[in-house]
Amino acid sequence: MLAAILTICGSFVFTSCSTDNDDMVEPEPGAEFRAKLKSFDWGVDTTYVYGHKTPDVDAVCSALAYAKLMRTLGYNCKAKVSSDINRETAYIAGEFGFKLPELKSSVAPQTRLILTDHSDYAQCVDGAKEAIILQKIDHHIEGNIPDAGIPYVRREMIGSTCTIIYEMYKELGIGIDDETAKILLAGLLSDTRNLTKPATQYKDSVALSALVAQLHLENKVTEISRQMSQASNNYFGMTDSEIFLSDYKGYDIGGKAIGIGSLDCMATEMEDFISRMLAVMPQVLSDKELDMLFAKIDNKIPNPDESNPDDLFLDDGTYFIYFGEGAKAVAESVIGQASLSEGVTYSKEKLGRKAIVAKITEKLQ
């Protein structure tokens, strides 16, 4: 009998072991993570949760949703943005009715930080190098903010940081209210472009489907995604420099300061658009004190299939433009062929920024 009891207790995790079923207590969901959080040096002031500079929807929404998760667990955390939001973020916040984080462009030394959706100091809020980073929640490769020394790091190579945070709510057994569901869905829709981007994984699909079902948006999600895409590509009233920097990220790769923009353009306007972007690149490179500057420009063509009005555009490859000493060799190694003209390369395949960063890292390190 005793042997049987020991076998049962070795097969399951209980807080106590007894032959009386009423004494068996299931562990709290996410008990290990909850215990780890309690061991952190939280200090006495607010811990700020930041996505990357030039924040996109996933950066903003992951910070919002994760700050709320930490507050639910009892920690004084607040989401902030380190620079102005883009038009897509403004659109979806208005559409879904959630409040955006306040701008706080720098932090004092010893400020406690949690980083979402980035892993490079070049993308961090100013002052991050002198801050105390408690956590990183990210879906990119490890950057120059090393995982070692940070109390908790969670990285999954999937389509959206908001998917990771959705998983964490579920693992911790914490309910996702409708406002948080909208925030997570916004980030997921944007960073996967409604599950169509190359980095999208099955986990993203599971999270998106669940959030859409919770919010009863099955008949609206495609239209919402299309409107988000149009807002993202709306450059009206912006200077060429503002356009170039509208979805920009900085990196330190192999000791080189590198910037990479991400843009879209209609095929019929591409030649003029590329010329304008090339014209502003020298000033951007100088202003940001970079060694090399790149931008991927996805080539859009109208969808001739009028029976599918939800998909207005088709992708026809990616132009990859470059500027700076050594940038030509790097760009051609990313694309795998010679330049079309000075400063311009082209891939028949649509390129994601994650894949580009991985190829540049391989080239320079």
Ranges 27-31, 74-78, 149-153: which has the least confidence: 27-31
**Domain membership flag for residue 109:** yes
Same domain, 130 and 109: yes
| Length of the chain counted residue by residue | 365
Same domain, 293 and 188: no
Q: pLDDT per residue over 325-358, tens digit each? A: 999 999 999 999 999 999 999 999 888 899 999 9
Ranges 105-109, 188-192, 217-221, 312-316: which has the least confidence: 312-316
pLDDT at 308 over 60: no
**Domain membership flag for residue 142:** yes
Mean pLDDT for 236-263 is 96
Same domain, 22 and 86: no
Mean pLDDT for 193-206 is 93
Tokens coding 130: 């002198």
**Domain membership flag for residue 35:** no
What is the distance between the alpha carbons of residues 243 and 269, in angstroms, rounded to a whole number? 15
What is the distance between the alpha carbons of residues 236 and 126, in angstroms, rounded to a whole number? 29
Same domain, 49 and 183: yes
pLDDT at residue number 9: 34
Same domain, 209 and 256: no
Phi/psi class of residue 228: alpha, beta or left (left: φ > 0; alpha: ψ in -120 to 50)?
alpha
For residues 117 and 129, is the Cβ–Cβ distance under 8 A? no
**Domain membership flag for residue 15:** yes
**Domain membership flag for residue 233:** no
Q: Which CATH number is 341's domain given?
A: 3.10.310.20
For residues 326 and 360, is the Cβ–Cβ distance under 8 A? no
Same domain, 247 and 341: yes
Same domain, 116 and 218: yes
pLDDT at 6 over 90: no
pLDDT at residue number 314: 63
Q: State which of 228, 252, 282 marks the end of a domain.
A: 228
Same domain, 142 and 100: yes
Q: Which of the four pLDDT bands, split at 50, 70 and 90, describes residue 272?
A: very high
Domain containing residue 339:
240-364
Please, what is the average pLDDT of the chain? 91
- The one-character DSSP state at 258 is E
Same domain, 94 and 16: no
Q: State which of 160, 194, 228 marks the end of a domain.
A: 228
Q: Which of the four pLDDT bands, split at 50, 70 and 90, describes residue 186?
A: very high
Q: For the chain, what is the domain count?
A: 3
**Domain membership flag for residue 132:** yes
**Domain membership flag for residue 166:** yes
What is the distance between the alpha carbons of residues 174 and 71, in angstroms, rounded to a whole number? 12
Q: Which of the four pLDDT bands, split at 50, 70 and 90, describes residue 256?
A: very high
pLDDT at residue number 19: 43
Same domain, 191 and 90: yes
Same domain, 12 and 129: no
pLDDT at residue number 98: 98
Q: At what angle do helices 221-232 and 178-192 cross, to 10 degrees?
A: 60
pLDDT at residue number 233: 84
Q: Which CATH number is 85's domain given?
A: 3.90.1640.10
pLDDT at 225 over 60: yes
Mean pLDDT for 186-215 is 96
Q: pLDDT per residue over 103-141, tens digit each? A: 999 999 999 999 999 999 999 999 999 999 999 999 999
Ranges 118-122, 179-183, 187-191, 267-271: which has the least confidence: 267-271
**Domain membership flag for residue 71:** yes
- The one-character DSSP state at 88 is H
For residues 140 and 155, is the Cβ–Cβ distance under 8 A? yes
pLDDT at residue number 365: 86
Q: At what angle do helices 178-192 and 202-215 cross, to 10 degrees?
A: 140
Same domain, 16 and 66: no
Q: pLDDT per residue over 81-105, tens digit each? A: 999 999 999 999 999 999 999 999 9
